[in-house]
Chain A
Amino acid sequence: MKSERANRRMMTRLSIFAVAMFGFGFALVPFYEKICEVTGINNLIKPAAAVVNTQVDKSRWVTLEFDANAHGLEWEFRPVQRSVRVHPGEMIQIEYDVRNNGAKAVVGQAIPSYGPKHAAPFVKKLECFCFKQQPLQAGESKRMPVQFVLDGALPADVNTITLSYTFFEVKGASTAPAKGGVQG
């Protein structure tokens, strides 16, 4: 049997290993973030890189439907147009209306989702209210644009894309009116 000291040394090493693994759990957070960034899995609320091919494909029509939800917020949130028919390659701008019916100022962040899911990378958003956090004073209303180009490489079987935004409350964010430019 080895000495007490060997046991203590072993305990120290294993404890350090356990603490390091606790740190490793947190290190997974930036690691996954990087993977999503590199593979483009989760670039939903970032502007698309410059659109290179702007050739309009007049032979093809795609319908875009718009949806709006507010999660846990007393906000009235809806698209101005329910749907638009577009050609791939066309520059499109649509608008959403939002109004804070609550009694206090709140900051919201909109998260988009797409149906079908695999159409997401082909909707190239150039401008979107979802690129930054939106502070709304009590009773304030806003009209917010979304500007996008539909990529011509969109799979041929996709004729309709539903773009749905959900506003979530960002707790603890400053509710001062936005001066623009600051990305959320």
Chain B
Amino acid sequence: MEAVHGHTNDHSHDDHAHKPSGIMRWVQSTNHKDIGTMYLWFSFTMFLVGGVMALIIRSELFQPGLQIVKPEFFNSMTTYHGLIMVFGAIMPAFVGFANWLIPMQIGAPDMAFPRMNNLSFWLLPPAALLLIAAQFMPGGGAGVGWTLYAPLSTQAGPAMDLTIFAVHILGMSSIMGSINIITTILNMRAPGMTMMKMPMFCWTWLITAYLLVAVMPVLAGAVTMTLTDRHFGTHFFNAAGGGDPVLYQHIFWFFGHPEVYIIAIPAFGVISQVIPAFSRKPLFGYASMVYATASIAILSFMVWAHHMYTAGMPVEAQLYFMYATVLIAVPTGVKVFNWVATMWKGSLTFETPMLFALGFLFLFTLGGFTGLVLSIVPVDVQLHDTYYVVAHFHYVMVAGALFSAFAGIYFWLPKWTGRMYNETLGKWHFWLSLVFFNVTFFVQHFLGLAGMPRRIPDYALQFAEFNAISSIGAFGFGLSQLLFLYIVIKTITSGEKAADRQWEGADSLEWTHLPSPAPWHSFETPPVVK
């Protein structure tokens, strides 16, 4: 980000005069690239914190019986592992991508509201500190599960209040970030950049941002009700006062199901950039991709109760939610077939970003299939709250969202830093991640089918072998990510110089119109798109 090349499109020759140095550059930054970088580093830090929590969970589950941690602490670990990975790692990672890429891809000089952008980022560290501080409250962290279900959450200790405030702050950050993204995409496109010419990544983020503005306030409402039930004498979820704990589940999943797509859709966007670049073909079925993404987003509001088949529901409602959920497989299938058709007869090469994209394609589809299995009511009644569910959502979140984030980082690292990563090490990172991911999570399908319940620190003896395998895989997967950290640092410090258009198949504006590394200010004069 330091160098400013004398490129024809860069008309800001006085960059350095405006750039404060040292820590204040970052604290006060209103530059979309700096903020994007901060989002990505924050997200990686949280990924390590949440990862350590996952390893604590897997250590305890390595053998049956209670060996390492107390059950209360175990519950707290499952809770905060989920919250930190969803709200601290995956979501900020994709907001980081959005910040870096959207202005460059649509030919805008920066985000629409640079100061609000700064605020969106700087709300995250205090929220993360609240989540970590919750561990040290009297009674320990709130072991209520990441879904924060009442009535457990209305009875939990003071850690719960910190968690609620953290969720409030994270929600505000997401809403402001989304308003910024929507405004940037709708109002600040370069001349000639029509909506249907935008790179797929921008489309997916536009739809995700709308989802975020629609559902984050609903989550804020749900945790606010929990807070007032705890301290201010309301009875939203208290049966004795005329409320209903199941109400919490309905409100939570009205947020929670769209949230699943908030995580998945930007991942689809990254994959839709990477696969065409390494197939040297344009994305197959661009328009159908846009409509499929929008359909997924709309359908996501209509299926929330499939998370609560066992909470007590009339059979008619179960049938409706089952059919509506199965319907989501149609637009998702359109996307998967389009990606495959993009590769059809393409000149494929398999650099690290493409490997991660293919890993995504294969494993995300597998996770989608187990989701389809779980959507069927009579099956779900058996599998609800077992390790089958844990395996399912780790296939879509880790092999889905996280692999796509890795694909995106390897893909754009040359553009961001102006340097190339080490291809051999990148491939090692991919294969280690792929193998250990499956060692960790594939066996959890079997555990779930055999009836092992999730969120319990101990288990019956017949589950011992698969749990031991899963724990070994988890440590392998966790350690492989240190290799990723090494690769990124090595790239920044001493990677080979990257070309302006490092991937000749990539055709969005940041590759075709900007040098590598992208200058601190880009597109102050908008490019003209044919």
Contacts and interface: CB of A to CB of B under 8 A. Distances in A.
Nearest to B191: A1
Interface stretch (B236-244, B405-413, B433-441, B467-475): B236-244
Given A2-B187, A26-B221, A168 B247 contact: no
Contacts of B219: 25
A18 B222 contact: no
Q: What secondary structure prevails in chain B residues at the interface with A?
A: helix
A7 B220 contact: no
A111 to B, nearest CB: 5
A51 interface: no
Contact of A109 (B213, B220, B240, B254): B240
B217 A21 contact: yes
Contact of B240 (A15, A17, A168): A168
Interface residues of B, number: 38
A113 B101 CA distance: 55
Interface string A23-64: 111101100100010010110000000000000000000000
Interface string B175-213: 100110011001110100000000000000000000001
A17 B213 contact: yes
A29 B108 CA distance: 43
Contacts, number: 96
A108 B241 CA distance: 9
Interface stretch (A82-90, A144-152, A169-177): A169-177
Contacts of B187: 1-2, 6-7, 10
Interface residues on A, range: 35 or more
B526 interface: yes
A103 interface: no
A167 B240 CA distance: 8
A14 B213 contact: yes
B112 interface: yes
B138 interface: no
A169 B182 contact: no
Interface string B282-321: 0000000000000000000000000000001010000000
A11 to B, nearest CB: 6
A98 B24 CA distance: 66
B169 interface: no
Contact of B179 (A11, A28, A184): A11
Nearest to A21: B217
B241 A109 contact: yes
A77 B66 CA distance: 36
A29 B526 CA distance: 48
A10 B222 contact: no
Contacts of B175: 18
B179 A14 contact: yes
Contact of B215 (A6, A10, A15, A21): A21
26 contacts: A1-B108, A1-B187, A1-B526, A10-B179, A14-B178, A14-B179, A14-B182, A18-B213, A21-B214, A21-B215, A21-B216, A21-B218, A22-B221, A24-B217, A25-B221, A25-B254, A28-B218, A29-B247, A29-B251, A32-B244, A39-B314, A108-B240, A109-B241, A111-B239, A169-B240, A171-B233
Minimum-distance CB pairs A-B, first 6: A25-B221, A168-B240, A22-B217, A109-B240, A21-B217, A25-B218
Interface of A: 1-2, 6-7, 10-11, 14-15, 17-19, 21-26, 28-29, 32, 36, 39, 41-42, 108-109, 111, 117, 167-172, 184
Interface of B: 108, 112-113, 175, 178-179, 182-183, 186-188, 190, 213-222, 225, 233, 236, 238-242, 244, 247, 250-251, 254, 312, 314, 526
